[in-house]
């Protein structure tokens, strides 16, 4: 079909066949469809949407456009989890050892952070010696031997999505549910998991700001999973404030270790147990989420999940002694307390602003090439709903340069906390399942 006819089909609200979509993506990757025609089509999708069948075809076409990880040599149902991104989100590092301790294999590829959100791989690299680049053979062998491996994205996963995403970014076509859901799921499918649990964030620190949009995105991704033969479940979780207290790589690893010792923040622990229970159901180690919940709680309380983290760190060359002595993690030279300027209640914490403040300290990168400082970041002193008095510590900033009240990152951190006279209605952590 001529490119112009394909664009016209979508402009006029008609349905493409799976074959037409596959050809469209293949020709785009080969450079036969120019960016201006692809942009016209994505704008037509933005306005007219796509059917479930079309979205599934687009997802598979993008998943097949590059390397596809073959996990068939790993015994059992391989599960993966994906979060739509957030600040202080270290859930993968807690969930993977819990789920592996219950006997469900976790072979997970994770990304690096960009902008205000952190990346699992950067966090792991704050542990001395930890290798995030394994060969496919090492990756598979490790999962077969200890049940878990977390590595960086290798090869060329879903290059069609990479090219298309860059184009959407500059043509005002990112905010389209069919395009977002196919983009995320194409990478998950190429990464080889049999079953996927999605943590769709909602709120000011999230990609989706409203509950309605988050539910629509979750439903679209579950429908893609179903159409493409991967069992998929989704939960919607709040990102109107950072998850847990720590933001920044080594600081977050410290919080991961505390959580696996049973001393973690309530919100972080609850979200991890919920997501882990869903993964255990999809991994067929429990019949329903209630039975799975008992198994994941037992893995946490018995210390088996913590032991799994130790094994994971040791297997990938890292200093496993950090589990017992977290002070071995990189430490920043200076700390600075950001104090509350008036009495009241914390009514909101702008997660995105704190993510950007941590980035200014060196915890994140503005461009892919930037180096990061694993030791720096921010630890919250208060969460939404807490009563505060003037002079209370709202946050402690960990930096490798001395900070003062005029420092941009300090100003940003202070501005992230909204203080109200009345206690706010606290939003539930899990918004919908």
CB 284 within 8 A of CB 407: no
Q: How many CB atoms lie within 10 A of CB 41?
A: 21
368 is catalytic: no
183 is catalytic: yes
Q: How many CB atoms lie within 10 A of CB 326?
A: 16
Between 18 and 114, whose beta carbon lies closer to ligand URA? 114
Choosing from 161, 199, 240, 373, the catalytic residue is 161
Say how far apart CA 270 and CA 136 lie, in whole Å: 33
Closest distance of CB 378 from ligand URA, Å: 24
How many amino acids of this chain bind ligand URA (CB under 6 A)? 7
Token pair, residue 260, equals 């696996």
Is 338 a binder of ligand URA (CB under 6 A)? no
Closest distance of CB 301 from ligand URA, Å: 35
Residue numbers 147-166 binding ligand URA by CB under 6 A: 165
CB 276 within 8 A of CB 239: no
Between 47 and 334, whose beta carbon lies closer to ligand URA? 47
Say how far apart CA 254 and CA 323 lie, in whole Å: 8
Closest distance of CB 388 from ligand URA, Å: 34
Between 167 and 432, whose beta carbon lies closer to ligand URA? 167
Between 188 and 398, whose beta carbon lies closer to ligand URA? 188
Q: Binding string to ligand URA for residues 164 to 203, with x set by CB under 6 A, is what?
A: -x--------x----xx--xx-------------------
Choosing from 78, 82, 310, 374, the catalytic residue is 82
Closest distance of CB 165 from ligand URA, Å: 6
In this structure, what DSSP letter does residue 208 have?
Answer: B
Q: Binding string to ligand URA for residues 207 to 226, with x set by CB under 6 A, is what?
A: x-------------------
Closest distance of CB 34 from ligand URA, Å: 21
Token pair, residue 90, equals 């270290």
161 is catalytic: yes
Between 220 and 306, whose beta carbon lies closer to ligand URA? 220
116 is catalytic: no
Q: Which of 191, 206, 186 is nearest to 85 (CA)?
A: 206
DSSP string covering 285-309: SSSSHHHHHHHHHHHHHTSHHHHHH
Alpha-carbon torsion 259, 263, 267, 269, what sign? positive
Choosing from 65, 83, 92, 183, the catalytic residue is 183
Q: Which of 296, 299, 312 is nearest to 108 (CA)?
A: 312
Closest distance of CB 173 from ligand URA, Å: 9
Beta strands across the sheet bearing 377-380: 246-247, 377-380, 393-399, 334-339
Choosing from 16, 81, 116, 168, the catalytic residue is 168
Between 87 and 295, whose beta carbon lies closer to ligand URA? 87
HEC profile for 234-285?
Answer: EEEEECCCCCCCEECHHHHHHHHHHHHCCCCCHHHHHHHHHHHHHHHHHCCC
Express the helix, strand and coil content of the chain in percent, nearest 5 each.
45, 15, 40
Between 180 and 260, whose beta carbon lies closer to ligand URA? 180
End-to-end CA separation in angstroms for the chain: 41
Choosing from 10, 187, 293, 310, the catalytic residue is 187
Closest distance of CB 161 from ligand URA, Å: 7
- Residues annotated catalytic, as ranges: 82, 161, 168, 183, 187
The residues of the shown chain that bind ligand URA, judged by CB under 6 A, are 165, 174, 179-180, 183-184, 207
């Amino acid at each position: 079909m001529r490119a112009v006819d394909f664009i016209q089909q979508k402009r006029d609200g008609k349905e493409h066949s799976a074959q037409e979509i596959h050809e469209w993506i293949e020709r785009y990757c080969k450079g036969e469809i120019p960016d201006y025609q692809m942009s016209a089509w994505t704008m037509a999708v933005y306005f007219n949407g796509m059917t479930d069948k079309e979205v599934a075809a687009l997802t598979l076409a993008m998943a097949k456009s590059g390397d596809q990880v073959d996990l068939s040599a790993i015994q059992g149902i391989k599960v993966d989890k994906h979060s739509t991104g957030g600040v202080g989100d270290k859930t993968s590092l807690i969930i993977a050892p819990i789920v592996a301790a219950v006997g469900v294999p976790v072979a997970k590829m994770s990304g690096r952070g960009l902008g205000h959100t952190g990346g699992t791989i950067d966090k792991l690299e704050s542990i001395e010696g930890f290798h995030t680049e394994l060969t496919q053979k090492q990756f598979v062998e490790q999962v077969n031997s200890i049940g878990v491996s977390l590595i960086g994205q290798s090869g060329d996963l879903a290059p069609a999505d990479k090219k298309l995403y860059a184009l959407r970014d500059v043509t005002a076509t990112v905010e389209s549910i069919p395009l977002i859901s196919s983009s995320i799921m194409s990478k998950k499918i190429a990464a080889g998991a049999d079953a996927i649990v999605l943590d769709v964030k909602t709120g000011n620190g999230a990609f989706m700001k409203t509950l309605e949009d988050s539910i629509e995105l979750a439903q679209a991704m579950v429908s893609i999973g179903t159409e493409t033969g991967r069992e998929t479940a989704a939960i919607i979780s709040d990102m109107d404030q950072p998850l847990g207290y720590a933001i920044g790589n080594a600081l977050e690893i410290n919080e991961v270790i505390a959580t696996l010792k049973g001393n973690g923040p309530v919100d972080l622990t609850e979200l991890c147990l919920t997501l882990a229970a869903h993964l255990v159901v999809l991994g067929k180690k429990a019949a329903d989420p209630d039975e799975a919940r008992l198994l994941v709680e037992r893995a946490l309380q018995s210390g088996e999940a913590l032991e799994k983290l130790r094994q994971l760190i040791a297997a990938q060359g890292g200093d496993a002694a950090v589990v017992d002595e977290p002070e071995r993690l990189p430490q920043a030279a200076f700390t600075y307390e950001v104090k509350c300027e008036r009495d009241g209640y914390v009514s909101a914490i702008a997660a995105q602003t704190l993510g950007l403040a941590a980035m200014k300290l060196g915890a994140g990168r503005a461009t892919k090439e930037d180096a990061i400082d694993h030791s720096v970041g921010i630890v919250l002193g208060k969460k939404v709903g807490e009563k505060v008095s003037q002079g209370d510590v709202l946050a402690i900033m960990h930096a490798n340069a001395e900070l003062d009240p005029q420092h941009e990152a300090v100003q940003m951190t202070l501005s992230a906390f909204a203080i109200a006279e009345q206690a706010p209605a606290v939003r539930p952590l899990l918004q919908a399942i």
